């Protein structure tokens, strides 16, 4: 069974600081997704990482994927209050004969304080 | 706006009742996925339909069922509702089998009282 673990689960940081969220998964996958969720809202796609060594950046967020280590990181640079949200990583389980699904991590609740 | 439409946005119902949640996928997407988000279980995959056929099943209770219609919209039916079924139910769609992105709807917040 595929397990996806994130840490930390809660992160309180000051504006202007840097931090990294980690996502480990238990079985082989060559792709990984990061989502953002504001309270009570939908999941917004942030990054789709499709290969080993993939690195993508959008604003103050940068995501990377190491498929050999089964690890993805989401790095936050110079945090601002608007980044406060819950961040999820998700790993697809793809089976040719039986479809596909995303297995999500527990989520990292990020609070950026002024 | 992801292009995935879910209705209704909110639903309050009593225990023992039955409700239907509706999802319209993005134009051109053939796969529809249903997920349940609750405080104690997190985000859990329920079921996937691809072009009208069930393709993958997750932790979906027997009291729950789903279908995808010829126009590709999908419905999730929840019956004999219990307090523990209160959750946010998301529908997502993708072009194929998660080759690329899955796009999520706004969700239906179900409250069972």
B34 close to A (CB below 8 A): no
Measured between beta carbons, the chain A residues lying within 8 angstroms of B101 are 33, 45, 48
Put simply, the answer to whether A45 touches B106 (Cβ < 8 Å) is: no
For the segment A30-59, the average pLDDT, to the nearest whole number, is 93
Which tokens hold the place of A17? 């600081």
- Confidence band for B95, pLDDT divided at 50, 70 and 90: confident
Rounded CA-CA distance A69/A26 in Å is 10
CA distances from A98 to A6, A88, A101, A104, B66 (A): 27, 24, 10, 19, 16
If you average pLDDT over residues A9-16, what whole number do you get?
Answer: 95
Return d(Cα B76, Cα B90) in angstroms, integer.
Answer: 10
Sign of CA dihedral A92, B26, B4, B21: negative
How confident is the model over A77-81, as a mean pLDDT? 95
**Do A9 and A75 touch, CB atoms closer than 8 A?**
no
Would the pLDDT of B97 be above 80? no
Candidates B2, B58, B103; nearest CB to A101 = B58
Predicted local distance difference test score (pLDDT) of residue A98: 59
Q: Are A105 and A6 in contact (CB under 8 A)?
A: yes
**Which residue among B42, B98, B100 sits closest to A106, beta carbon to beta carbon?**
B42
Which chain B positions have a beta carbon within 8 Å of A41's beta carbon? 106-107
Which chain B residues touch A45 with a CB distance below 8 Å? 2, 101-104
Would you place residue A89 in the very low, low, confident or very high pLDDT band (cuts 50, 70, 90)?
very high
Residues 80-99 of A with CB under 8 A from B: 88, 90, 92, 94-95, 98-99
Decide the pairing of beta strands A108-113 and A10-14: parallel
Assess whether pLDDT exceeds 90 at residue A101: no
> What's the pLDDT band for B8 if we cut at 50, 70, 90?
very high
What's the rounded Cα separation, in Å, for the pair B106 and A38?
11
């Amino acid at each position: 069974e595929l397990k996806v673990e994130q840490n930390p689960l809660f992160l309180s940081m000051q504006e202007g600081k840097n931090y990294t969220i980690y996502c480990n998964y238990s079985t082989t996958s060559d792709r990984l997704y990061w989502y953002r969720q504001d309270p009570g809202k939908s999941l917004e796609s942030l990054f789709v990482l499709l290969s080993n060594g993939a690195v993508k950046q959008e604003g103050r967020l940068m995501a990377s994927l190491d498929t050999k280590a089964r690890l993805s990181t989401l790095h936050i640079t110079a945090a601002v209050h608007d980044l406060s949200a819950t961040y999820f990583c998700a790993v697809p389980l793809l089976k040719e004969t039986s479809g596909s699904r995303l297995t999500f991590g527990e989520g990292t609740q990020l609070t950026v304080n002024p | 706006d992801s292009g995935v439409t879910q209705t209704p946005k909110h639903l309050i119902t009593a225990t023992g009742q039955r409700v239907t949640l509706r999802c319209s996928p993005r134009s051109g997407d053939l796969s529809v996925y249903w997920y349940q988000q609750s405080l104690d279980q997190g985000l859990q995959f329920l079921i996937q339909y691809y072009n009208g056929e069930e393709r993958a099943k997750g932790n979906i209770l027997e009291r729950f069922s789903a279908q995808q219609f010829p126009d590709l919209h999908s419905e999730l039916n929840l019956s004999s509702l219990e307090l523990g079924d209160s959750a946010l139910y998301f529908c997502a769609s993708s072009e194929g089998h998660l080759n690329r992105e899955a796009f999520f709807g706004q969700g239906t917040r179900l409250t069972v009282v």
